[in-house]
Structure 1
Amino acid sequence: MNGVWTILRRSPRAAAGAGILLAMFLLALLAPVLTPYSPTSQDFSSWTTPGREHLLGTTALGQDVWAQILYGARKTLLIGLMAGLIATVIGTTIGVAGAYFGGRVEDVLNVVTNVFLVLPGLPLLIIVSAFVRGAGVWSIILVIAFTGWAWGARVLRSQALAIRNRDFVQAAIVSGERPGRIIFAEMLPNMAGLIAANFFSTALYAVLSEAGLSFLGFGDVSSVTWGTMLYWAQARGALLQGAWWWIAAPGLLIALLGTAFALLNFGIDEVTNPKIVHSIRATKVLRRGRKAAPRLVSGGPEPLMSIGHLDAGYVTPRGNVRAVRDVSLDVAPGEFVGLAGESGCGKSTLAFAATRLLDAPGAVFGGEARLAGTDLLELSNEDLRRVRWKDYSMVFQASMNILNPVIKVREQVYDAMQAHGITDPAKLDARARELFRLVGIREGYLDAYPHQLSGGMKQRVIIAIALALEPKLVVMDEPTTALDVVVQRQILQEIDAVRRRLGISIIFITHDLSLLVEMSDRIAIMYAGEIIEEAPAKALYAGPKHPYTARLMNAFPELEGPNERREGIPGRPPPLSVELRGCPFYDRCPSRMPGQCDEHKPASVEIVPGHRVACFLHSPLIKEGDVAHAAD
C-alpha cells in the first residue's frame, strides 16, 4: 500500500489516472443509488432528449441512457480489469519462464509467442469471437486475454533475461535455491513496475477491443456495456434521429477510461524508472533562490571550478538524504585534484551534483558550483547543454559499458562533436584520429564495433570522447574500475600526459589513495559527505593530519620494505539519512575527545599554507552554520 501511495504522490499522471478510474468505480458501485431505472426497462418514450427526468435521454426502445451508462460501467470495467489481469499472468509466466529456463523451453515459448505476434490482432479477435458469440461476458474476457498476452510476454522476457544474468540471481542459483523461489523472490520484485505497466496497457487494449467487437456486432449484444451501447445506437440510426447523446456518452467514457489506464501506465513508468523523465532535464535544484555564503579565496590564480558550500543528496519518501554536506572545493586551471574516501562517503554525488548530472531522485539543496565564474546550478537546460562536453565533460565509473554495441566506434566518437556544431566529415575524421593517437589506440579501431575492443581500449575510447572538444575540466569517477592493475597504470599515465599537454583540469575520484598520491597535485579526503582534509599530495602523504586520513593511508601496503600486517578501519561510516552531531568520524576515531568531538563539529582550518583539516587535534575552532569561532 505504501508503494501505491508513493506512486500517486510522486506522479501527477498516475494520480490523475487513479482519480478517473476511482470515479468510474464509484459510478458503477452506486448505480442503484444514482438512478431508479433499470438499464433494460423499455417503459419510456423513444428518443427522449436529455432533461430532468432522463439526464441523458432515452434510446429508440425507450431505455434510459443514464441507467445504461451506470450499469454498463460494471461490465466494461470488469472486462478491462479481468482481461488485463489474465493476459498479464499469461504473458508474465511465459516471458519469465522462457528467460529463466532457456534451452528448449525458451525455444518452444518463443515460437508460441511469435505466432501470436504475427497473427493480425483484430481479425483474430473477430474469428474467435464468432465461435463463442452469445456465450456471455466471460467469453469475451477470455477471448481478449487469449489474443492480447503476446506483446507483454516479449517485453517481460527481455527484462527477465537481463535480471537472469545479474550477479544476485546467479548467486542464488549457485547456492542451490529452487527455481520457484528465485523467480518469485529474486526476479519478479525487480520487474514489478514493468508488470504493473503491462497490466494497464493490456487493460486498455481489452476495453478498446470489447468496444470494437461490440460495435461490429461480435460481442455479447444482449448485455449492457459501453461497447454494446455503441452497437445499438449505430444499428438504430441514432445520429440520423438526432439522438447524439446515445453515442456521445459511451464514446466519451470509453475514451476517458482509456486515458485513465494510459496515465496510470505512464505514471508507473515515470516513478519506477525516473531516468525516463530525468533525461530531459538537468539535476533538480531545490535551493529556491538561496545563495551560498561568500567564500574567502586565498591568494593565487582564480580557480577554474569553485564549489561553494554545496549541499546535495536524494529526495526519498522518508525525507532528504544529505550525501554531500556543506562542501567547498576549488580546482585551479590545469590542476589534477584527487578525491578519495570510502564507498558511500559522497564522492560521486559531489561530482554529479556540481556538474548537474545527478540523476533523479538526486537533488541539490543548496550552495553553488561555478565553472569559470558561471554558476552551473543557475543555468537553464538549453544553456547547460551548450556548456556540457564543451567546457566540462565526465568519464563515468565503468563507462566502458556505455558504448552502443551495434554502432561503430567512429560514430560514437563523432556524436559529441556533432552535437556542438562540428559537421564537416573531414574535420570529424581528423579530430577522431588525433584523439585516438592521444590516448594510445590505433586509428583503425575507429571502424570497429565495441565488442572488438578490449576493456582497456574501450575505456580509452571513452576518455577520447570526453576530450573531443578540449574541455577546460574533466571529471573522472573511478575510470579504471574493473581493469587490471597494469592497464590501470597505463591509462592513468596517459591521462596525466594528456592533461599536461592540453592544460586541462581533472577531478579524479578513486578509492586508491596510493594512486592519487602519485598522480595528483592536490588531494581532498571525504568522509560522511564532508571534506575533512585537503592538502598537496606530497604533503598529505608525508604528514596526514586527520586520524581518518592516517588510517586510510595505513590500509595500503608499502611497495618497498618488509612485509607488515595491515588492518582496515574498525566500525562503519554514519548513516547520511540523519543529521550528524559533532565530528562524523567520532565513533571510529582512536583519538576522540568525549565532550568535544561528539558535541561540536570541527571547522576546516588551514594549519599550514595549502593544508586544511577539520579536526580538534589541530584547532579548537568549531563550525556552527557557516561561521567558525573559538570554543569556550
Structure 2
Amino acid sequence: MTSVSVTPPRLRLLAFGPWRILRRSPRATAGAAIIGLMVLLALLASVVSHADPNTGTFDPWLNPSATHLLGTTALGQDIFTQLLYGARLTLLIGFASALIATTIGTSLGVASAYFGGRGGEAINTLTNVFLVLPGLPLLIVASAFLRGGGVWSIIVVIALTGWAWGARVLRSQALTLRTRDFVQAAVVTGEGPGRIIFREMLPNLAGIIAANFFSTALFAVLSEAALSFIGIGDVSQVTWGTMLYWAQAKQSLLHGAWWWVMAPGLSIALLGTAFALLNFGIDEISNPRARHSGKATRVLRRRAAPRVTVQQPGDALFSVRHLNAGYATPGGSVRAVRGVSLDVHPGEFLGLAGESGCGKSTLAFAATRLLDAPGVVFSGEARLAGQDLLALSSEELRQVRWREYSMVFQASMNILNPVLRVREQVFDAMQAHGVTDPERLEARARELFNLVGIREDYLSAYPHQLSGGMKQRVVIAIALALEPKIVVMDEPTTALDVVVQRQILQEIDGVRKRLGISIIFITHDLSLLIEMSDRIAIMYAGEVVEEAPASSLYTGAKHPYTTRLMTAFPPLSGPRERRDGIPGRPPSLAQDLPGCPFFERCPSRMPGHCDTRKPATVEVSPGHKVACFLHSPVVQATQPQEERHALASD
C-alpha cells in the first residue's frame, strides 16, 4: 500500500506525458522542436538529398550555392548531404550512450543509497574509481582497443566511461530521500524495496535523471567528435565528428572552406542547446520550486498608480482593504484570501485564528509582499503608516522591510545558518540597513538578548548549541533588531512544547508593551489568543467571519464557526463533558462561493439565505463584527422569532 497521506508533493514528471510537458514549457517546446527537426532530416536524408555522402561526384572545393547549400569537400562530396547522413549516427551515438549510461548510473546510484551496507559501499567504491580515472585518456585507450568494432563499440565505450558522475549525484539525492518520512512510512507499511524505489523514490528523482540523460547524451556526442577528430574513431563512417576530422585533415580553413568546419560544429552546438532547453523545461515541470525560484509576488492591480501617503481609517497603523490574493495554477486561480479588510492599531496585539488552509498565512504574506510565487495579489491595498506596500518598487520595499515591519516565520528556528555564529546573524539585518559601527552592533545585540531572555554569552554560540526555544528567541530578537512598527508572527511556537511556548509568548508580550510595537500573531490555538491578544479575527475559507476584542469573543462568540472552535477542546477544570469537532471539511478555494463559506458545515444554516448570497458584516456590539445571517437585521426582520432562537441555540 502506498503511503499517499504522508507523501509530499512529488515530482510528477512520469504522470505528465510528453505533450503536456511541451504545452506547459516554452523552453521544452523549443528544445524538442530542434531535436525533432534534426531527427526528421536525418531520417529523410535520402529524400532531401539524392547525392551519396561518401562518393565524390562533384568538383572539389565548391562554394555554397543553390545546388550545393554548404559547398563540397576536397574530394567532391556534398557537405549538406554529409551533414544529413551524419546526423543519423551522431544522434544514435548520443541517445544510445545516454540511455545505457543513465540506466547503469541510476540503477547503481539508487541501489547503493537504498540498500547501503557492504554492497552499497562496494558500488560507491566502484563509482569513485571511475570518477578518478581521466575521462579522455580512458576513452582513447578503450577506443583504440576496440577499434574496428563499428559504431556500437564507440557507444559502449562512451557509456561505460560516462555513467559514474550521474551515479554519484543520484546516490547523494537518493540518500536524502531514503531518510524522508514518506519513504519510512512506506517501509513500515510493508512495501517491498522494488515498489518503494520505483513508486516513492524515482518519481522524486525524475528531474535529476532527465538532467543526467541529456548531459550524458551531449557528452557522448562531444566524445565521439573528439575521438574522430584525433583519428581514433571510425573515420570511414559519416558522423559530425568525422566531418570535422576530414575538414582538419584536408586543411579546409587554409582553402577558405570554413563552411566545412562550421556546419558540423554549429550542429553539435545547436544539439547541445536543444538538450539544455529540454532539460530546463522538464525541470520546470517536475520541480515547481525551480519554476518559481527568485520570483516575487505578482501584484495585478493598478500597475502604475501614483503612490500617496494617506491617513489610515481610525488612525490604524496597518490597514488591509478588500485584499484578494491566492495562487495562479495551471488549473486556474486559487483565491485563498477573499476580500479581507482588517486594521491593526499602534501597540495592539491582534490574533489571527482558524483551521489549516483558511488563508491566515496567505493573508499575512500577501499584505507584506512576502508571498512566494506563484502567489498573486489580485486586488486590494495593504497600507503601513499610510504607505501602500503593494505599490512599492523592489528597492523601496527592501528599505521598508525590517525597519518598518518584520516577520517571524513558522518553525523559524530553522532559518538560522548552521555555519555562522549567532552574533553574525543578529548583526545581518542591522548592517543591511546601514548600522555598521561595531560597538553599536554589539551593544544592540546584547540589548536584544536581554529583551528576549537569553544570556549574552550565547551570541558567540553556533545554532546547534542552542535549544529549540533559545533559537526561537534568537529569531524573535532578530525581528526586533530595528524596532519595527509591526511584527507578523506566523505560528512561531508550533514546534515547541507548551512550557516553552508560554515562556516565549510572555517574553513577546513584555517586549510589545515595552517597545510599543504592534503584533499580528497567527495560530491555531484560540485559547492562547484569548489569553494574549487585545483583539482576535477568525478566518474561514479565506474570509474574516468574526472580529472582536478577546474578552468579548470569549464570553459571547457570535458566528457558529467561532463557537465550534471555542468548544472543540475541553476545559482543564469543571465537569467532564463530551466535545465534538466540526463535521465536514472547508470548501475548495479554487471555486466561487456564492453564499456563506461555512454553509455546508453550519448547524444553523438557513437555505435560501446562506447558500445564495454573502452575509454582510454587521457590528453587533462596539468592536464586535460578525458576517452571519443569524445577526443580519434584514433576515431577523423576516424570520419568525421562535425560529431565530432555535437556530441560534444550535
Q: TM-score, normalised by structure 1?
A: 0.93
SS in 2 for 1:41: coil
Amino acid at match of 1:90: I
Is the 8 Å Cα contact of residues 6 and 317 (structure 1) preserved in structure 2? Answer: no
Partner Cα separation in structure 1 for residue 546 and residue 453 of structure 2: 35
Separation in structure 1 between the aligned mates of residue 22 and residue 395 of structure 2, nearest angstrom: 30
Alignment equivalent of 1:470, drawn from 468, 472, 483: 483
Matches within 5 A, 1:508-587: 508-587=521-600
Q: Tell me which amino acid in the other structure corresponds to 1:354.
A: A
Q: Determine if the alignment matches structure 1 residue 335 to structure 2 residue 348.
A: yes
Q: Which residue of structure 1 aligns with residue 647 of structure 2?
A: none
In 2, are the aligned partners of 1:290 and 1:366 still within 8 Å (CA)? no
Distance in structure 1 (CA, Å) of the matches to 2:131 and 2:113:
18
Verify: 1:439 aligned to 2:452, yes or no.
yes
Q: Aligned pairs, how many? A: 619
The residue that corresponds to 1:494 in the other structure is: 507
Residue pairs, 1:450-461, within 5 angstroms: 450-461=463-474
* Structure 2 counterpart of 1:399, from 380, 395, 412: 412
User: For the structure 1 residues 575 and 562, does the alpha-carbon distance in structure 2 shift closer, same or farther, using more than 3 Å as the test?
Assistant: same
From 284, 289, 302, the counterpart of 2:298: 284
Task: Report the AA paired with residue 441 of structure 2.
Answer: L
Change (3 A) 1:399 1:420: same
2:338 corresponding residue in structure 1: 325
2:85 matched to which residue of 1? 71
Measured after TM superposition, the shift of residue 421 of structure 1 is 2.8
The alpha-carbon deviation at position 397 of structure 1 amounts to 1.3
1:131 to 145, 149, 156: 145
| Structure 1 stretch displaced more, 175-184 or 154-163 | 154-163
SS across alignment from 2:545: strand
Measured against aligned partners, the alpha-carbon deviations of 1:111-150 in whole angstroms (never above 9, x if no partner) come to 2222222223222222222222332222222222222222
Distance across 2 between alignment mates of 1:365 and 1:5: 30
Task: Tell me the secondary structure at the aligned position of residue 574 of structure 1.
Answer: coil
**Shift of residue 592, structure 1, vs aligned partner:** 0.4
Cα offset, 1:7, TM superposition:
4.2
Q: 1:14 to 1:288 in 2, by over 3 A?
A: farther
Using the alignment, how far apart are the partners of 2:493 and 2:125 within structure 1?
43
1:626 matched residue in structure 2: none
Question: Deviation at 1:199?
Answer: 1.9
Do 1:113 and 1:153's aligned partners in 2 also have CA atoms closer than 8 Å?
A: yes
1:262 corresponding residue in structure 2: 276
Could you tell me which amino acid in structure 2 is paired with residue 139 of structure 1?
A: S
User: 2:620–2:626: 8 Å Cα contact kept in structure 1?
Assistant: yes
1:475 aligned counterpart, secondary structure: strand
Structure 2 residue 338 is matched with structure 1 residue 309: no
Match of 1:43 in 2: 57
Offset at 1:59? 0.8
Change (3 A) 1:247 1:281: same
Distance 1:444 1:10 in 2: 53
Give the corresponding residue for 2:639: none
- Gaps of at least 5 residues in structure 1 are 623-632
Q: Which residue of 1 aligns with 2:227?
A: 213
Query: SS of the counterpart of 2:629?
Result: coil
Among residues 192, 210, 218, which one is paired with 1:178 in the alignment? 192
Deviation (angstroms), 1:556:
2.0
Q: Distance in 2 between matches of 1:288 and 1:18?
A: 38
- Closer, same or farther: CA 20–375 of 1 in aligned 2, 3 Å: farther
3-state SS of 1:43 partner:
coil
- Identity score, percent: 75
Is the partner of 1:602 in helix, strand or coil?
coil
**1:79–1:206 CA contact under 8 A, matched in 2:** yes
Q: Find out whether 1:62 has 2:115 as its counterpart.
A: no
Instruction: Give the alignment of 1:366-377 within 5 angstroms.
Output: 366-377=379-390
Q: 1:124 to 1:472 in 2, by over 3 A?
A: farther
Paired with 2:42 and 2:633, the residues of 1 have a C-alpha distance of 71
Distance 1:142 1:533, change over 3 A: same
Q: Distance in 2 between matches of 1:8 and 1:44?
A: 42
Partners of 1:448 and 1:28 lie apart in 2 by 64
Q: After superposition, what is the alpha-carbon deviation per residue over 1:576-631, rounded to whole angstroms, capped at 9, x for unaligned?
A: 12111211101110100011111111112222221111100001569xxxxxxxxx
Distance of aligned partners of 1:543 and 1:556 in 2 relative to their CA distance in 1, 3 Å threshold: same
Which of 235, 238, 246 aligns to 2:260? It is 246
1:291 and 1:368 in contact (8 A); partners too: no
Counterparts of 1:564 and 1:291 in 2: how far apart (Å)?
57
More off after superposition, 516-525 vs 424-433: 424-433
How far apart are residue 497 of structure 1 and its match? 1.2
Shift of 1:9: 4.4
CA spacing shift, 1:456–1:192, aligned 2, 3 Å:
same
Matched, 1:409 2:422: yes
1:380/1:169 CA distance change after superposition, 3 Å: same
Question: What is the CA–CA distance in structure 2 between the aligned matches of 1:90 and 1:432, rounded to whole Å?
Answer: 54
**Code of the aligned partner of 2:188:** V
SS in 2 for 1:393: strand
Is this contact kept in 1: 2:406–2:479, CA < 8 A? Answer: yes
Structure 1: how far apart are the matches of 2:514 and 2:290? 38
Kept in 2: contact 1:603–1:621 (CA 8 A): no
CA 1:384–1:123: 2 relative to 1, 3 Å:
farther
Once the 2 structures are TM-superposed, how far is the Cα of residue 4 of structure 1 from its aligned partner? 4.1
Which residue does 1:591 correspond to in 2? 604
Change (3 A) 1:401 1:226: same
| Equivalent in 193, 200, 203 of residue 214 of structure 2 | 200
Q: Decide which moves more: 487-496 or 121-130.
A: 121-130
For 1:573 and 1:297, how far apart are their aligned partners in 2?
A: 36
2:630 counterpart SS class? coil
Cα offset, 1:6, TM superposition: 5.0
Partner of 1:629: none
Post-superposition CA distance 1:310-335 (Å, at most 9, x none)? 11112221111111111111111221
- Could you say what the CA RMSD is over the residues aligned between the two structures, in angstroms? 2.3
Distance 2:346 2:600 in 1: 38
- Distance, in Å, in 2 between the alignment partners of 1:601 and 1:410 is 52
2:125 paired residue among 108, 111, 123: 111
Between the aligned partners of 1:61 and 1:288, the Cα distance in structure 2 is 67
User: 2:135 maps to what in 1?
Assistant: 121
Q: Which stretch of the first structure deviates more once superposed, 260-269 or 545-554?
A: 260-269
- Cα 1:274–1:172 change in 2 (3 A) is closer
Gaps of 5+ in 2: 1-14, 636-650
- The structure-2 alpha-carbon separation of the partners of 1:197 and 1:362, relative to structure 1 and needing over 3 Å to count, comes to farther
Q: Which amino acid aligns with 1:387?
A: V
TM-aligned CA deviation for residue 166 of structure 1: 1.5
The separation in 1 between residues aligned to 2:439 and 2:193, in whole angstroms, is 56
Which residue is equivalent to 1:625?
A: none
Match of 1:96 in 2: 110
Q: Displacement, 1:413? A: 2.4
SS at match of 2:314: coil
8 Å CA contact retained: 2:296, 2:373: no
3-state SS in 1 of match to 2:237: coil
Q: Does 1:352 align with 2:361?
A: no
SS at match of 1:300: helix
User: Contact between 1:535 and 1:612, CA under 8 Å: does it hold in 2?
Assistant: yes
Amino acid aligned to 1:507: I
Query: Which of 361, 371, 376 is 2:374 aligned to?
Result: 361
Measured against aligned partners, the alpha-carbon deviations of 1:316-374 in whole angstroms (never above 9, x if no partner) come to 21111111111111111221111111111111111121222222222222222222222
